[in-house]
Amino acid sequence: MRYLPLILKNCWRNRRRTTLTVASIGVSMCLLGVVVSMYHAFYMGAPAPDEAVRLVVRNRISIAVAIPLSYRDRIQRIPGVRQAMYANWFSGVYKDSRNPKNMFARFAVDKEKLFQVFGEFQIPEDQKKAFLRERSACVIGRDVASGLNLKVGDRLPIKGDIFPGDFEFTIRGIFDSPRSSQVMYFDREYLEQSMSERRRGFVGMYYVRIDDPAHSARVAQAIDDEFHNSTAQTKTESEQAFTVGFLSLLGNVKMYMIAISAAVMFTILLVSANTMAMSVRERVREIGVLKTLGFTPAAVLGLILGEACALSVAGGAIGYLISTLLMQVVAKSPFGGFLPALPLIEVPVAAVCIAIAAAIGVVSSLVPAAGASRLPIVEALRSSD
Amino acid sequence: MAIPIAYNLRNLVVRKTTTIMTALGIALTVATLLAILALVNGLRVTLTASGDPLRIIVLRQGADSELVSNFARAQFQDLKFKQGIATGPDGLPLASLELVTIANLGAVEEGSEVNVNVRALLEVGRQMRPAVHIVSGRWYRPGQREVVVGKLLSLQHASAHIGNKIRLGRGDWVCVGIMDSGGGSTDSEVWGDLNQISSDLQRIEILSSATVRATDAVTAKALVNDINNDQRLNMTAVGEQEYYDRQTGSGTPIRDVGIFVAIIMAVGSSFAAMNTMYAAVARRSREIGTLRVLGFSPASIMLSFLLESVLLSLLGGVTGCLLALLLLNGYSTQVGSNFATMAFRFTVTPAIMGVGLAFALILGAVGGLLPARMAARKEILTALRAV
């Protein structure tokens, strides 16, 4: 530790190289930071409190296959269930579907229960009442409203595809959500009217609000057991697992993430190793002097490893900070709807990033550091490079 | 006068460790970019191969994919006898009513499940797609609970093998054959008998879409217009090629994310290249002085160092292309489109490699610019005096 000032001084000697190395590592680490944050959010993060109390029930075969409306009362009766809200993924086309701005999720739901099941949605009381009163009313998330410049009272024409027909909605409310809110909800009764006889009585899924997050596994099992011998078996999972499942339709997301991380880490390793090799080569004579002064080989080794570590940790920290900013941008994009609410600084993610950076620093400088520590004094002093 | 290129080449060889490390960093960046481009290209190639210029897909108005479309049997009767539809050897129109739905396959790895497209069709539907043939096993028999699976699907999923059961609708279906469509999206589909599957799904009257075959290319266009303008039908017709072209859109987010990743990595690697070049300039201070004394102009020195940086990155670019070609080309993967996964292969083409090389060149030029300028601006005397 007492060598820390010396290590830092050495780092700062070739300022341009240090700056470039730290910048290079920082830029790459910010990618790694984004990947690690997403991985954490998808596969490891604890769900937000409002999400933890929600389960999603869908047809065991696929989310694209419907389940009977009649399941609602049976789900409702299961101990631990507070509210069961049916919902249909409506799909549909707003204006021109090629413009990504016009792409937002649309759900036909049990509107009486919407704001009970999604307790975190904030909506003015009068707007909520207006939404409940009118059959063709809809509510939209703040992100849809600001993206398309819509306000309460506007008309929202949607062309149905899964559910054919021209639907005309009136926006009666705009709600705020802690997550991305690229979504619109409307009354399923309105949709049911337009359905053919054959399709009535079927819904896409149920959102279930339970009494206690600790019971979620038990309640999910109880729901699936209830319908085990029915024509449509169900699969109940936490909202988080459901979202991840939805995302996996995009392909093997986990593999993409791991591949990107590996490429990024290897690049950083090369950058850092290159820098350290260059800086050791320039300092051979100086190392001879240090050894003459009585620095042991171990101390020389430590000095060089420490220098590499300091550089890559600095790069890692900067990269992580940039990545938090990037994540805020990601959370605002349409893709952000898949993500749980993200705190600005996630301590485990930051720790992982910094630790990875430090490890890369050590590994990258092992070869030049070992070489320098083994170098005989006379030879080092004689070096003219 | 220009400094000979051999000077730069020898310099790169002398400092081989640094050269290799910098070039490898650039190679990884280029390989990442190529991986993404090859993935999107593979998707495009697969989808394009699925389309036939004479086949036309007819969907319900407003639907943009077969999966969300609805098609009543009664409507099909009106469509079938339209002008311009070719007739088969039996004298019946080549028009196939089809049902497209999703089945869930348990994947090879425990716990993950995959959704696949299931296409239910009649004999005529198979007749209209002569490219699709059985590579092992046999076709499903009408009236039996049998299906055949696409070639790529059978490679990736344990349950998609001959003799295995696939769960769909109200029960299990036996897989009796593996089909090959020569690189189209059919390679990741499951096919079965229309009547059998539709009754099992309780969708006897309402199916998904129809595919018709036009007699020739000119008629195909007219037929598309005719169907689109027929108020009574309330249908959208689209040429199969155009249809699959539109589906390529599902690769766009992947491509955008990939290009973003590659650009960020490129910024990192160009910093690294800059580092290497600055070190090269610093170490060769005396050489630069000597070159100036010999009469080389600052401009030619700048050009020489820029060239060296470009050579360095070119080396990285070529390595990156080789990496992508050897490790990725032909590797099969899958992406989701419209709720079902579609398998395809990474396809590295010369055009894609060209993009990768150009990317590396730009990266090297940007990284080498400042150090080269520094080299050119050195005062002769101070340069010569440097240790």
B104–A62: do the CB atoms touch at under 8 Å?
A: yes
Residue A53 lies in a domain: no
CB contact under 8 A, A251 and B334: yes
Residue A244 forms part of a structural domain: no
Which of A181, A196, A231 is at the close of a domain? Answer: A231
Name every chain A residue with its beta carbon within 8 A of the beta carbon of B253.
250, 335
Tell whether A77 and A217 lie within a shared domain. yes
The distance from CA B387 to its chain's CA centroid, rounded to whole angstroms, is 54
Closest of B228, B231, B135 to residue B179, by C-alpha: B135
The answer to whether residues A183 and A300 belong to one domain is no
| Whether residue A33 is found in the same domain as residue A169 | no
CB contact under 8 A, B334 and A252: yes
**Same domain (yes/no): A163, A298:** no
Three-class SS of residue A95? Answer: coil
Name the domain boundary from A177, A199, A231.
A231
Classify residue A96 by burial, with Cβ atoms within 10 Å: 0-12, 13-18, 19+: exposed
Q: Is residue A333 part of a domain?
A: yes
B271–A contact, CB cutoff 8 A: yes
Single out the residue of B182, B206, B214 nearest to residue B68, CA to CA. Answer: B206
Whether B268 sits inside 8 A of A198 (CB atoms) is no
* B367 near A CB under 8 A: no
B269 to A61: CB separation less than 8 angstroms, yes or no: no
**Entry pTM:** 0.75
Which residues in chain B touch residue A64, judged by CB atoms under 8 angstroms apart?
67, 101-102, 115, 339
A198 contacts in chain B (CB < 8 Å): 205-206
Q: What does the alpha-carbon distance between residue B267 and residue B383 come to, in Å, rounded to a whole number?
A: 30
DSSP A119: T
Contacts of A91 in chain B (CB under 8 A): 68
pLDDT at B109: 44
* Residues A24 and A89 grouped into a single domain: no
- Specify the number of domains making up chain A: 2
- Give the nearest chain B residue to A330 (CA atoms): B257
**Interface touch B269/A24, C-beta < 8 Å:** yes
> Is A256 found in the same domain as A310?
yes
Q: What is d(CA A151, CA B254) in angstroms, rounded to the nearest whole number? A: 33
With contacts defined as CB-CB under 8 Å, which chain B residues touch A60?
A: 104
Map residue A151 onto helix, strand or coil: coil
CA–CA separation, A362 and A58 (whole Å): 49
Q: Looking at this predicted complex, what is its ipTM? A: 0.73
Chain A residues with beta carbon closer than 8 angstroms to that of B268: 24-25, 27-28, 267-268, 271
> What residues pair up with B342 in beta bridges, in sequence order?
B335
Do A288 and A354 share a domain, yes or no? yes
Q: Which residue of A has its CA nearest to B166?
A: A61
Q: Are A143 and A260 contained in the same domain?
A: no
Q: Which of A169, A196, A231 is the last residue of a domain?
A: A231
pLDDT in tens, A188-243: 988 888 877 767 888 989 999 999 888 888 999 999 999 988 878 888 988 888 87
Cβ pair A278:B167 closer than 8 A? no
Rounded to a whole number of angstroms, the distance from the CA of A274 to the nearest CA of chain B is: 6
The shortest C-alpha distance from A27 to chain B (Å) reads 6
A186 and A225: one domain?
A: yes
B167: which chain A residues are within 8 Å (Cβ-Cβ)? 61
Q: Is the dihedral of CA B175, B181, B182, B187 positive or negative?
A: negative
Residue of B nearest to A94 (CA): B62
Q: pLDDT in tens for each of the 387 residues of chain B?
A: 788 889 889 988 988 888 888 888 889 888 888 888 888 888 888 888 888 889 999 988 777 788 778 888 888 888 888 888 888 888 888 999 999 988 777 644 444 567 788 999 998 999 889 889 999 999 999 888 999 999 888 887 777 788 888 877 777 889 999 999 887 888 889 999 999 988 888 788 888 899 999 988 888 889 999 888 888 888 889 998 888 887 777 667 777 888 888 888 888 888 888 888 888 888 888 889 999 999 899 999 999 999 999 999 999 999 999 998 888 877 777 665 555 667 778 888 999 999 999 999 998 999 899 999 999 988 888 888 876
Which residue, among B76, B161, B147, has the nearest Cα to B118 in the 3D structure?
B147
Is A238 within a domain? no
Pick from A364, A363, A371, A372: nearest CA to A273: A364
How far is residue B19 from each of residues A276, B284, B310, measured CA to CA in Å? 14, 15, 12
Same domain, A95 and A164: yes
Rounded CA-CA distance A106/A183 in Å is 6
Interface of B with A in 147-176 (CB under 8 A): 167-168, 170
User: Which residues does chain A have within 8 Å of residue B15's beta carbon, measured at their own beta carbons?
Assistant: none
At A212, phi and psi to the nearest 5?
Answer: -145, 130
Nearest chain A residue to B62 by CA distance is A161
Per-residue pLDDT of chain A (385 residues; tens, 9 = 90+): 678 888 888 888 888 889 998 998 999 899 899 888 888 877 776 677 777 889 999 887 767 778 889 999 999 999 999 999 999 988 788 887 667 677 788 999 999 999 999 988 999 999 999 999 998 999 999 988 988 899 899 999 998 877 878 899 999 999 998 877 888 999 998 888 887 776 788 898 999 999 988 888 899 999 999 998 887 888 898 888 887 777 766 666 777 788 888 888 888 888 888 888 888 888 888 899 999 999 999 999 999 999 999 999 999 999 999 999 888 887 776 666 666 666 677 788 899 999 999 999 999 999 889 988 988 988 888 876 5
Backbone angles phi, psi at B114, to 5 degrees: -125, 140
Tokens of B159: 């349950």
Least CB-CB distance to B60: which of A164, A260, A274? A164
Q: Which residues of chain A neighbour B35 with C-beta distances below 8 Å?
A: 259
- Interchain CB distance below 8 Å, B28 and A270: yes
Q: How many CB atoms lie within 10 A of CB A7?
A: 20
Query: Which chain A residue has its CA at the smallest distance from B18's CA?
Result: A274
Note whether B269 and B25 are within 8 A (CB).
yes
pLDDT at residue A251, rounded to an integer: 61
User: Which of A27, A65, A161 is nearest residue B267 as measured by Cβ atoms?
Assistant: A27
A237 belongs to a structural domain: no
Please state the separation of Cα B260 from the chain's center in Å. Answer: 17
Candidate from B28, B70, B341 with C-beta closest to A266 = B28
Are A263 and A225 contained in the same domain? no
Q: What is the pLDDT of residue B108?
A: 43
Question: Would A101 be classed as within a structural domain?
Answer: yes
Strands A205-210, A155-160: pairing is unpaired
On whether residue A52 sits in a domain, the answer given is no
Kindly state whether residue A55 falls inside one of the protein's structural domains: no
b/e sequence A302-341, b meaning 16+ C-beta within 10 Å: bbbbbbbbbbbbbbbbbbbbbbbebbeebbeebbbbbbbb
Q: How far apart are CA A113 and CA A54, in angstroms?
A: 13
**Residues of the domain holding A312:** 4-46+252-382
Nearest CA-CA partner of B137 in B185, B179, B182: B179
Rounded distance between C-alpha atoms, residue B291 and residue B178, angstroms = 69
Q: Are residues A117 and A216 in the same domain?
A: yes
